[in-house]
Structure 1
Amino acid sequence: MITIGLIRHGITEWNSLGKAQGVSDIPLNEIGRKQASDIGDRFLLEEQWDMIITSDLSRAIETANIIGTKIGLPSSHIDKRVREINCGQIEGTTEEQRIRKWGSEWRNIDLGMEKFADVSNRGRDFLEDIVCTYKGKRILVVSHGALIGLTLQRLLPQKFQKTYIDNTSITILKNREEKWDCILYNCTKHLK
C-alpha cells in the first residue's frame, strides 16, 4: 500500500485576479506563503510523511519548500509530469478577457491548450510510477489545480465527474493492490 497526499500550491497574484496561469511561472504571493506555512503546521500535528515531490513551477516549489521546512523534510524531488496544464493562448487572461477576445464559445476554439486527456494521462502515469517505486511510503505531491482534478477524474471517474481544488488543499489517495481510493478530498481545515 502507498499513501499519496496531493497538495495544490498556495495562492498567487494571478489566482487572485482570476487569470489562467498554466505553465507561466508565477510566484506565490504573501497569502500563498501563509497558506503553505499553515498546511505545514497542520502536518506537524497529523500524520508523518516520508517524501515531498513537486512540480517544476516556482509556485509549487516554494509551497513544497515551506512545507518541507516546517516538517523537516527536504523537497528535493522535482517532476515535470505534475506541472500544470499548458493553457496556450489563454495564459495570463481572465474569463472576461477571453470572452471579449474570442467570444463566449472560446472553449471550442483551438487556442493551443493541452488536451485534458493528455493532462490526466500524465498525472496517472506519474502516480503509477510512484506506486511502483515507493511501496509502503507516504508521499506528498505539490502540484496544481487542473492536474490534480483531471487526474482524480481519470483514476476515480465514478467518484469525480467534476472537481475543484482549493489552494493548499490536501487530497489523500491510497493505492492498495492496484486499486485507488480517495480518503480525503480538497481539505482546507488548516486555513480556517
Structure 2
Amino acid sequence: MTTIGLVRHGITDWNELGKSQGISDIPLNNLGKLQAIALANRLVLEGEWDVIVTSDLSRAKETGQIIAAKLNLPINIYDKRIREINCGEIEGTTEEERLKRWGSNWWKLDLGMEKFGDVSNRGYEFLTELAITYSDKRVLVVSHGALIGLTLQRLLPEQFQKTQLDNTSLTILTIKQGIWNCSLYNCTKHLDNTFSNV
C-alpha cells in the first residue's frame, strides 16, 4: 500500500486579499510560514514519511522546505505538473475586480484559464506515477488548492463532487491494488491551538 499526503501550501498575501493566484509566483507571508511550521511539528509527531515532493511555485516550495527541515528529509522533486491551475487573465484580480471588468458572467468568458479537466488529468497522472515509483512508501505532496481538489474529484468522484481546501490542510490518500481511498480530508487540527481566525 502506498500512502500519499496532500498538503496545500501556507497562506500568502494574495490569499488574504482574495486575489486569484494561479501560476503567479507569490511567496508565503509570515502567517503562511507559521502555518507550515505548525504542520511540520504535527507531522513529526504522527509518523514517518519517506519522500517529499512539491510544486515548483515558491509558496509550495517554501511550505515543503519548512516541512522537510523538520522531518530531516530532502525534497525529492520540484514538479511543475502539480502547479496551481493557470488562471489566465484573472490572475491577480479579486472577485470584485472581475465583476467590474468583465461582468457577472466573467467565468463563462474565454480569459485564458486552464480547463478543469486538464488540471485534474495532470494531477491524476502525477499521483498515479508517484504511486508506482514509490510503491509501499509514504509520500508527502505539497501543492495547491484547485490542483488537489480537482485531482480528488477525478480520483474519487463519488466522494468528492466539490472540494474546499484550507491553507496547510492535510489530506491522506492510499492506493492498494489500484484502488484509491481517502482516510483524511482537509484536516487543519495543527492550526487549532496555534492560531485563531486562520
TM-score band w.r.t. shorter chain: over 0.9
The one-letter amino acid of 1:5's match is G
- The answer for the alignment partner of 1:83 in structure 2 is 83
State TM-score, norm by structure 2. Answer: 0.96
State TM-score, norm by structure 1. Answer: 0.99
Q: Deviations over 1:68-99 (max 9, x none)?
A: 11111121311111000000000000000000
Query: How far apart, CA to CA, are the structure 2 residues paired with 1:39 and 1:75?
Result: 16
The one-letter amino acid of 1:45's match is L
2:169 maps to 1:169: yes
Query: How far apart, CA to CA, are the structure 2 residues paired with 1:116 and 1:29?
Result: 28
Query: How far apart, CA to CA, are the structure 1 residues paired with 2:125 and 2:152?
Result: 12
- The answer for the alignment partner of 2:105 in structure 1 is 105
Query: How far apart, CA to CA, are the structure 2 residues paired with 1:107 and 1:138?
Result: 38
- The answer for the alignment partner of 1:74 in structure 2 is 74
- The answer for the alignment partner of 2:37 in structure 1 is 37
Task: Give 4+ residue runs of structure 1 displaced > 4 Å after superposition.
Answer: none
- The answer for the alignment partner of 1:48 in structure 2 is 48
- The answer for the alignment partner of 1:156 in structure 2 is 156
The one-letter amino acid of 1:152's match is L
Which consecutive unaligned segments of at least 5 residues does structure 2 have? 193-198
Per the TM alignment, residue 31 of structure 1 is displaced from its structure 2 partner at its CA by 0.2
- The answer for the alignment partner of 1:180 in structure 2 is 180
Q: Deviations over 1:6-54 (max 9, x none)?
A: 0000000000000000000000000000000000000111021001000
Query: How far apart, CA to CA, are the structure 2 residues paired with 1:6 and 1:124?
Result: 13
Q: Secondary structure at the match of 2:153?
A: helix
Query: How far apart, CA to CA, are the structure 2 residues paired with 1:190 and 1:107?
Result: 34
Greater shift after overlay, 76-85 or 53-62? Answer: 76-85
Query: How far apart, CA to CA, are the structure 2 residues paired with 1:4 and 1:131?
Result: 8
Q: Secondary structure at the match of 1:140?
A: strand
Query: How far apart, CA to CA, are the structure 1 residues paired with 2:126 and 2:71?
Result: 24
Q: Secondary structure at the match of 1:34?
A: helix
- The answer for the alignment partner of 2:191 in structure 1 is 191
Query: How far apart, CA to CA, are the structure 2 residues paired with 1:151 and 1:76?
Result: 21
Query: How far apart, CA to CA, are the structure 2 residues paired with 1:132 and 1:176?
Result: 11
2:134 maps to 1:134: yes
- The answer for the alignment partner of 1:13 in structure 2 is 13
